[in-house]
Amino acid sequence: MKKIKITFPDNSFIEAENEVRPILFLEKFNAKNKKIVAVKVNNEICSLDSPVSITSNIEPVFSDSKDGSAIYRRSLCFVLASAAHKIFPGKRLLVGHSLGYGYYYTLELGEPLTRENILKLKNEMEQIIKDDKIIETDFISYSEACSLFEELGLTETRKQLNYRCPSRVQINRLEGFSDLYFGPLVGTTGILNVFDLLPYSDGFLLRFPKKGQPEKLTEFVDQPKLFEIYKSYKLWGKRLNVTSAASLNQLIHDRKESEFIDITETLQTKRISNIADEILKKKSARIVLIAGPSSSGKTTTSKKLALQLEAIGYKPKVISLDSYYLGRAQTPKDENGNYDYECLEALNIELLNQNLVDLFAGKQIKLPSYDFHAGVSYFKGDTMTLEESDILIMEGIHGLNDKLTPLVPADKKFKIYISALTQLNLDDHNRISTSDNRLIRRIVRDSRYRGKSAADTIAMWESVQKGEQLHIFPFQNNADAMLNTALDYELPVLKVYAEPLLRCVSPLQKEYAEANRLLQFLNCFSTIPATSVPTQSIIREFIGGSAFKY
């Protein structure tokens, strides 16, 4: 019989004649009191009970890691769904968007959700966790899955099986409840003892630990402006009956995507027009500062806003903060020795402020450019002047940070925060992360315009997110206006470009786990050809073919 070799991080190994399960040799990992929630088998994340039947390198996934935090959150959501099924049978639990370190949920009871209802849910979750129940992973036939989800009342989950039709379907089980498998969960519920249910608006927040701090909850910081943006888009999605990947797939299947694309683009244009009107009302504004996380579509938004401002009498001029990078040689490095392009210090603040002072004084300035391939700043002869009646638009991740523009008076600024806040879910209980949406955008753009592989982009993404937490999100509540740049049809378009790039990530690369997860995520969507995308769409910033010049 052929033997398999299992190698551990310290290069020790064991040989086995049959398949083995990682849970049997946890002592081989130097955990040092850390909680192990899963393992990486040849850089693929697997549950502790997954059978290993080939020669493999195995390493632990700790609860305080990025992957461990995702598993913890996903498992906690599954326990909540199980508790809701038991306490409120036949009632529909729906996951919404993230808010702080928590997910917003609603529970359709036919009457207002009370604090007593929420407490019942919390008590049931605590009991499930106290009992340290086993979470099973299993495969069932397609027909069994269809019947199961119909019986459980999981409407969107069942609908998705009309457009994803595997002969066998992977599910998770916890006592009398089952749900579709989207990734590894913890083996038993006892590890999930740090959480809270917080009443919020018409529903509640499932709160979970911050990444890297698995033993405690952080203080809740409300973001009312952001919540209202999400809420309005959720209502819009309900009116159009497109609230999930399944309903979007149905629309594509029925060949109705063109009308939906037109409506989606029109709504976004209308929102941008409304912001232009707000700028007009603030008569003292001379500079519009647009900020948001990576790949939120800042550049295209700036250009589309410029058109709206011009339509109401302004003469807008656009400056991109990306043009003010110092250059790779002068870019600070993070604690891991990697270039930190997201920090404020990566920008030439001195040159930027001198340019702004000169512009407002009526002087002509020479605009810098940045070569992302070579990592150098240079001048190609572009100039700009700002007349008294003109308005300046400047976009970049630090746009809302007053340290960027200390010489510009507050009354001269109009601040806009943008992000891709998709209102779609995968199904009833599984949400679409705004971070995943942006990461896929960036993978496509980095390949097309910056010569980077999917593995390169994935490798730097954690640093990008850390920069967003430090330099962008703390300032979002200071914005005068917020804009959602997500387009509900974009993932079926981006899928066409992203999948070939992600498939090139090898199991020998540590980025394979994330690439594999994103491929499974994109598999939930049908495709829409790029020819359906309008030339002024924000999506064109990432896939090419835009009517705008970048």
Q: Do the Cβ atoms of 370 and 326 come closer than 8 Å?
A: no
Same domain, 156 and 244: no
User: Which are the contacts of 393, defined by CB distance < 8 A and separation ≥ 6?
Assistant: 287, 288, 290, 302, 305, 306, 309, 316, 317, 318, 319
pLDDT in tens, the chain (550 residues): 678 999 999 999 999 888 899 998 888 888 788 899 999 999 999 999 999 999 999 999 999 999 999 999 999 999 999 999 999 999 999 999 899 899 999 999 999 999 999 999 999 999 999 999 999 999 999 999 999 999 999 999 999 999 999 999 999 999 889 999 999 999 999 999 999 999 999 999 999 999 989 999 999 999 898 899 999 999 999 999 999 999 999 999 999 999 999 999 999 999 999 999 999 999 889 999 999 999 999 989 999 999 999 999 999 998 888 899 999 989 988 887 888 887 889 999 999 999 998 998 889 999 999 998 899 999 999 999 988 789 999 988 888 998 999 888 888 899 999 999 989 999 989 999 999 999 999 999 999 999 999 999 999 998 888 888 888 999 998 899 999 999 999 999 999 999 999 999 999 999 999 999 999 999 999 999 999 999 999 999 999 999 998 8
Q: Do the Cβ atoms of 525 and 248 come closer than 8 Å?
A: yes
Same domain, 207 and 247: no
**Given 157, 187, 222, which residue is the final one in a domain?**
222
| 325 within some domain | yes
| 404 within some domain | yes
| 550 within some domain | no
- Among residues 301, 77, 110, 93, the alpha carbon closest in space to that of 195 is found at 77
pLDDT of residue 320: 81
| 195 within some domain | yes
Same domain, 161 and 268: no
Same domain, 431 and 443: yes
Distance CA 115, CA 442 (A): 41
Same domain, 11 and 148: no
pLDDT of residue 337: 85
Same domain, 21 and 119: no
Same domain, 112 and 137: yes
Q: How many domains does the chain have?
A: 3
pLDDT of residue 199: 97
**Given 157, 191, 222, which residue is the final one in a domain?**
222
CA 94 to each of CA 51, 81, 198, 233, 484: distance values in angstroms, whole numbers, following the listed order: 33, 9, 16, 15, 21
Same domain, 264 and 411: yes
| 549 within some domain | no
Distance CA 291, CA 382 (A): 23
Check which CATH number belongs to the domain holding 29 and give it.
3.10.20.30
Q: Tell me how long the chain is.
A: 550
User: Which are the contacts of 249, defined by CB distance < 8 A and separation ≥ 6?
Assistant: 160, 162, 163, 525, 526
Torsion of CA 90, 96, 102, 108, to 10 degrees: -30
Q: What are phi and psi of 42, to 5 degrees?
A: 50, 45
Q: What residues does 417 pair with on adjacent strands?
A: 291, 482
| 548 within some domain | no
Same domain, 155 and 282: no
pLDDT of residue 1: 60
Give the amino acid at 308.
Q
Angle at 28 between CA 24 and CA 30, to 5 degrees: 130
pLDDT of residue 440: 98
| 431 within some domain | yes
| 320 within some domain | yes
Helix axes 454-471, 434-449, angle to 10 degrees: 130
pLDDT of residue 396: 81
Check which CATH number belongs to the domain holding 535 and give it.
3.40.50.300
By 3-state DSSP, what share of the chain in percent is helix, strand and coil, each rounded to 5?
40, 20, 35
Check which CATH number belongs to the domain holding 140 and give it.
3.30.980.10
Same domain, 448 and 368: yes
- Among residues 466, 377, 493, 424, the alpha carbon closest in space to that of 66 is found at 466
pLDDT of residue 139: 95
Structural domain that includes position 504: 225-543
Same domain, 414 and 489: yes
Same domain, 449 and 385: yes
Q: Do the Cβ atoms of 137 and 172 come closer than 8 Å?
A: yes
**Given 154, 188, 222, which residue is the final one in a domain?**
222
Distance CA 193, CA 501 (A): 38
